Amino acid sequence: MTKLKYDVIGYWSEVKLDIIREYASVYSRIASAQPSINKHMYIDAFAGAGHHISKTTGDFVKGSPLNALLIQPPFSEFHLIDVDGDKADELTPPPYPGIRRQPVDAGAYRL
């Protein structure tokens, strides 16, 4: 296996991640409170490795899949997809034991 190369993201990508995290948190809270909704899912077709490197600070930044996994109340299901198997592998070890890697078509992986 080759060493994983994390994506370096700029300021606007960090802002986008903050917006997605806030939106997903509110959505999960509202959906969980509705008696007519049995389950609600988080789907990310470009999940990546779960972390990025900030171009501004050089620090690791949580990506959208890790932000989604930490939301309370939690989503009922997560469908995290990435074409890069090494990035998909980055999300499968503990502390995320409920995630399993499952190949799908064209080299993509659903976690």
User: What would the mean pLDDT of 42-65 be, rounded to a whole number?
Assistant: 92
pLDDT of 84? 82
Cα dist from 78 to 32, 74, 92, whole Å: 15, 10, 13
CA distance 62 to 45: 16
Alpha carbon of residue 52 to chain centroid: 11
Evaluate if residue 72 carries a pLDDT over 80: yes
Please indicate whether residue 109 or residue 31 has the higher confidence score (pLDDT). 31
pLDDT of 89? 74
Q: What percent of the chain shows pLDDT beyond 90?
A: 46
Please indicate whether residue 51 or residue 104 has the higher confidence score (pLDDT). 51
pTM: 0.79
In degrees, to the nearest 5, what angle opens at C-alpha 108 toward C-alphas 102 and 7?
115
